[in-house]
Amino acid sequence: GQKSLALDTAIGMWQLLFAEKQWPLVDHWCQFLQ
């Protein structure tokens, strides 16, 4: 419920932050969080 919604929001924020920095592990990090 609410926790997964917050997680989706957090993942979206991580992707936005690290897309600018070209961090190659962002996809792995998001999979880890899920």
Q: What pLDDT, on the 0 to 100 scale, is given for residue 22?
A: 67
Identify the band that residue 21 occupies on the pLDDT scale cut at 50, 70 and 90.
low
pLDDT at 23 over 70: no
Q: What pLDDT, on the 0 to 100 scale, is given for residue 1?
A: 66
pLDDT in tens, 1-12: 677 888 888 888
Listing DSSP states for 2-32 in one string gives HHHHHHHHHHHHHHHHHHHHT-TTHHHHHHH
Q: What whole-number percentage of the chain has pLDDT above 70?
A: 76
Q: What pLDDT, on the 0 to 100 scale, is given for residue 31?
A: 82
